[in-house]
Amino acid sequence: MRMLTGIFGISRVDLHIRSTTTGTSRHYRYAHEYERDVCDARVWGGIHTRTADEVGDATGRRLAAWALRKYFRPVP
């Protein structure tokens, strides 16, 4: 999500995700809403601890910032 918001320069997204398994859907208007739900789902699902997800999220943000600086520079 950080890559997308960095490329487009805005945190507003219009993202609809539908589950064919449960028949439910989610709509996200902002990147942080999606990021929060991803972290919560992994904790609630027993996949990771809250601390592990928060550290992973911070690492992903740093990696995305690095990739944006290195590979997505403006054309001179």
Give the whole-angstrom CA distance, residue 73 versus residue 52: 31
Give residue 47's pLDDT: 87
Whole-structure pTM value: 0.76
Q: What is the pLDDT of residues 13-69, one digit of tens each?
A: 999 999 999 999 999 999 999 999 999 999 999 988 999 999 999 999 999 999 999
Report domain extents, the chain: 2-71
The set of residues, in sequence order, having a beta carbon less than 8 Å from that of 49 and lying 6+ positions away, is 43
Give the whole-angstrom CA distance, residue 59 versus residue 57: 5
